[in-house]
A and B are shown apart, each in its own frame.
Chain A
Amino acid sequence: MNKIVKYVITDILRNRIIIIYTLFLLASALTVFSLEDNSSKGLLSLLNIILIVVPLVSIIFSTIYVYNSAEFIELLVSQPLRRKSIWLSIFTGLASSLALAFFIGAGIPILLYQANMIGLTMILSGTVLSVIFVAIALLSAVQTRDKAKGIGAAIMLWLYFSLLFDGLVLFLLFQFSDYPLEKPMIGISALNPIDLTRILILLQLDVSAMMGYTGAVFKDFFGTYPGLVFSCAVLLLWIALPIWLSTKKFKSKDL
């Protein structure tokens, strides 16, 4: 298994796309921090990058990689290797290289300019989001052999998580505004990993505004130890569940 992981990582790191992605993150993070006169504004721009660009690149790149390695995967399957370990190796390789790319591209500038709780939360969030969207990409890629369909599905999933889901929540909010929605909202936010990480960052970034009644409900939940454990557990579940499902599917898949 280690051999396959190593092979996948070297293959990805030789790929120009991931290097361009790293450089893009590095360049935008550095410009954002050095251009803005106060670093909190820089953090805000970076927040958008983390919440939008990181999931997009992770999901599309992983999907394309899986489809392009179809022949390689077939070759591996013909060897005396367990399918489970092949699939998990591909996931580990993808996830670790994308997380590494994020850490070098965005993590290092953040550590340089904002080495505090906000910065750390951001680095962790970005890394976790990278891994989650690799897992989701693998799940969507394993469903179909058609590359165009697979990439389309990946784009739709990204659109859903970063845009449509929030639109739906906003709609629900307006429809049910007469009811106390603070607590259900916490549950709903667990349904979208992007939202969950955003709220964790928001609680640090807009702490003053979040101290109003509604914000206080969220703060009381996410800001406390059990809340933090809950959010970490949910984020890990967002990695584990798609991987488990896709592995199951891959095991019995007709290649």
Chain B
Amino acid sequence: MKYLASMIVALFIAVSVSAGIIRVGSKHTHKTVRAGINAAAAGDTVSVDQGHYRERNLVINKRITLKGNNRPILDGESKYEIISVFTSGVTIEGFKLIHSGVSSLEDLSGIKVSNSSHVTIRNNILEDTFFGIYIQNGSNSRIINNQLRGTSLEEQRSGNGIHCWKSENMHIARNSISGHRDGIYFEFVKNSVILKNTAANNLRYGLHFMFSNDDSYLDNVFRNNGSGVSVMYSKRIKMLSNHFEENWGDAAYGILLKEISDGTMEGNYFTKNTSAIYMEGANRISMKQNTFKDNGWALKIQANCMDVVLERNNFIGNTFDVGTNGSLVLNTFRNNYWDKYEGYDLNKDKIGDIPFRPVSMYSVIVEKFPVAMILFRTFITTLLDKTEKILPSLTPENLKDNEPLMHRAF
């Protein structure tokens, strides 16, 4: 058995040593990338020189590395899918892909990877592609340091930046995506890591995933997307240290959590969103050490959420801290810092002695009659709010933080 293993290792080394480099460019025998790929054997590197290549649809059927020197341009002439990968172990790096075709029927993409694993897509620039990078039924692949800039103007005729369907163990890091429909789109994607990406100014969502369990989202920035971030029907997700910023509009949310269970959200920053978090049917979510700053609503938590724990978060400068739609409260608020807290701390343990009710009456009124927003901060509404604080009648009586912090949690 041991002998066999070392044989395989030796064979592997032999193959990688024998890997050739095939050069493509106007000065070389292979003038087109297609010719270069045709000439390559599995394990070879096809090295493409600078230039403008109109290759229609490049199909990669063997395990090669496609490498661009000085960022050669692959042009889809607004008709074709630019690169289609059908085999595992392929690496694509250093290209600039422009003008893919547009077809909602075939989901034409800059790079489409089908039924493959161990694919690496690295350091590419994609401009004016319909879908950017499209992975279907892939695994153990890496999408790193690409820049995707879509030019879509309307939702119906636009594709997603990084689109993964039925995949697992993906590693998506340091990409920046703008001008697409959804920045990053996941459906049935498991055990994947999404790290340090920036999705800004996309038409619909910065990040959109459904039925994608056990994924981690770390250090990403989602800014000024049409409807913010929307995540649904997923279990055991981790969202740490992400930034959700400037998602403005009535139906735009910093993050919308629908039917999300057993998630962790820690150390995230929510800044200047109309609604920072909107939760519907979310269960067993732990939210700790997040910062909510200058949002319209920091948290809209519907009454059908259960066992959501909010602990040691900072709520600073939000117009409304918490909004809800019912009187049933099955969630826990504990040790948060609320800048609207007006209580005292007699025993100096840095925890306020009277509970804080984050749902103001006026937020309940605005929820029912949105036009009432025009009377916000008038003398009479402030008066109503104060009365409600003393004798809660409209606001849910149990929605309160019994141990609010006197100073910022961190």
Interface residues of B, dominant DSSP: loop
A214 touches B249 (CB 8 A): no
> Which listed residue (A48, A51, A166, A209) contacts B373, Cβ 8 A?
A209
Which residues of A171-203 have CB atoms within 8 Å of chain B's CB atoms?
173-174, 177, 181-182, 185, 189, 195, 198-199, 202
Q: Is B3's beta carbon under 8 Å from chain A?
A: no
Proximity bits, B362-375, A CB within 8 Å = 1, else 0: 00000011111111
By beta carbon, the residue of chain A nearest B252 is A211
Proximity bits, B325-346, A CB within 8 Å = 1, else 0: 0000000000000010000000
B378 touches A195 (CB 8 A): yes
A173 touches B294 (CB 8 A): no
A38 to B316 CA separation, bound complex (whole angstroms): 9
B381 touches A166 (CB 8 A): yes
A163 touches B295 (CB 8 A): no
> Which listed residue (B274, B320, B368) contacts A211, Cβ 8 A?
B274
Proximity bits, B236-271, A CB within 8 Å = 1, else 0: 000000000000111010000000000000000000
Q: Is A84's beta carbon under 8 Å from chain B?
A: no
Instruction: State how many angstroms separate the Cβ of B290 from the closest Cβ of chain A.
Output: 16
A211 touches B248 (CB 8 A): yes
B317 touches A38 (CB 8 A): yes
Instruction: State how many angstroms separate the Cβ of A161 from the closest Cβ of chain B.
Output: 10
Q: Is A206's beta carbon under 8 Å from chain B?
A: yes
Q: Is B123's beta carbon under 8 Å from chain A?
A: no
B371 touches A210 (CB 8 A): no
Instruction: State how many angstroms separate the Cβ of A121 from the closest Cβ of chain B.
Output: 14
Given A210-B296, A212-B274, are A41 and B378 neighbors across the interface (CB < 8 Å)? no
Q: Is B297's beta carbon under 8 Å from chain A?
A: yes
> Which listed residue (A41, A185, A195, A198) contacts B317, Cβ 8 A?
A41
Most buried by A among B273, B316, B317, B374: B374
A209 touches B296 (CB 8 A): yes
Proximity bits, B128-170, A CB within 8 Å = 1, else 0: 0000000000000000000000000000000000000000000
15 of the cross-chain contacts (CB-CB < 8 Å) are A41-B339, A44-B377, A47-B377, A166-B381, A173-B369, A195-B378, A199-B374, A206-B377, A207-B272, A208-B248, A208-B296, A211-B249, A211-B274, A211-B296, A212-B370
- Chain B residues in contact with chain A, CB under 8 A? 248-250, 252, 272-274, 294-297, 316-317, 319-320, 339, 368-382
Q: A163-B380, A218-B373 are in contact. List 9 more A-B contacts (CB 8 A).
A: A41-B339, A47-B377, A163-B379, A166-B378, A169-B374, A206-B319, A208-B273, A210-B296, A218-B374
